[in-house]
């Protein structure tokens, strides 16, 4: 039961922060959805750190991974919104913007995870 509560709490906080960041930033670049991009990349970085720290000598407990990884990052990041925004760009015939958004999100996400893992190696 404790693990379910940790996931629930982390997910609620993550979802709330995602909403605030997306609401604040998505209006600045209507053809790029900067808020969604940033929360997804930041979530990738956080997951990279969590996995790196949990693998390195069991530095982070399973409960912390559930709270921060499954809960917070699960609520904070959003694949469904990313897919919807990509579809909207395509629907608006903005193939160039959609391609840039897709490519930048995927490449930056993978690099953010790698950076998080790399930082953990240095610790």
Q: What spatial distance separates the first Cα and last Cα of the chain, rounded to whole Å?
A: 33
The Cα 17–Cα 25 span in angstroms is: 12
pLDDT at 59: 78
Ramachandran area for residue 78 (φ above 0: left; ψ -120 to 50: alpha; else beta)? beta
CA 50 from chain centre, in angstroms, equals: 13
Question: What whole-number percentage of the chain has pLDDT above 70?
Answer: 100
The Cα 37–Cα 42 span in angstroms is: 9
User: What pLDDT digit, counting tens, does each position of 70-115 carry?
Assistant: 999 999 999 999 999 999 999 988 899 999 999 999 999 999 999 9
Q: Is 77 annotated as a binding residue?
A: yes
User: What pLDDT digit, counting tens, does each position of 84-93 carry?
Assistant: 999 999 998 8
Q: Is 78 annotated as a binding residue?
A: no
CA atoms within 13 A on the CB side of 34: 8
Do the beta carbons of residue 7 and residue 67 sit within 8 Å? yes
Q: What is the CA radius of gyration of the chain?
A: 16
Nearest 5°: the CA angle 59, 60, 65 is 155
């Amino acid at each position: 039961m404790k693990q379910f509560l940790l996931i629930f709490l982390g997910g609620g906080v993550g979802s709330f922060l995602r909403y605030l960041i997306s609401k604040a930033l998505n209006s600045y670049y209507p053809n790029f959805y900067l808020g969604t991009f940033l929360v997804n990349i930041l979530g990738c970085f956080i997951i990279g750190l969590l996995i790196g720290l949990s693998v390195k000598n069991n530095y982070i407990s399973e409960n912390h991974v559930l709270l921060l990884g499954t809960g917070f990052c699960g609520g904070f990041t959003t694949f469904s919104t990313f897919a919807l925004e990509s579809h909207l760009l395509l629907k608006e015939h903005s193939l160039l913007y959609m391609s840039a958004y897709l490519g930048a999100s995927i490449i930056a996400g993978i690099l953010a995870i790698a950076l998080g893992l790399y930082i953990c190696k240095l610790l």
